[in-house]
Amino acid sequence: MSFEEAELLRERAEAFLRNAQRLLEEGEADIAVFNLGEYCQLILKYKLLVYTGTYPRTHSLRQLIIKLGEVNPKILMLVSDIRNLHYIARLEGG
């Protein structure tokens, strides 16, 4: 893992989050949800890279959460509660 790669993921994630916030303020909820999904994906990859030195090449939030759950089992509550799965599915679909 390179520090630069991890920081690039974090910076890109934060840019998607800022963009999602701006889009919500402009009334563009659907596009904001897409940007929020990208933020979640990149921040999960960032966390995996920091904690494990690698991350899977997938766009699936569920797979990324499960992988990060190997390091921190508490995060698995995001995929073990059906109510959370609904939100994750919405984020994956944009």
Q: Which structural domain, as residue segments, surrounds residue 51? A: 3-93
Between 35 and 84, residue with greater pLDDT: 35
| pLDDT level of residue 81 (50, 70, 90 thresholds) | confident
Tell me which residue of 94, 61, 93 sits closest to 79, measured CA to CA.
61
User: Global pTM?
Assistant: 0.90
Long-range CB pairs of 24-30, under 8 A, 24+ apart, other chains included: 30/94
Which pLDDT belongs to residue 38? 96
What pLDDT does 85 receive?
86
CB 43 within 8 A of CB 15: no
Task: Give pLDDT tens digits for 17-49.
Answer: 999 999 999 999 999 999 999 999 999 999 999
The structural domain count of the chain equals 1
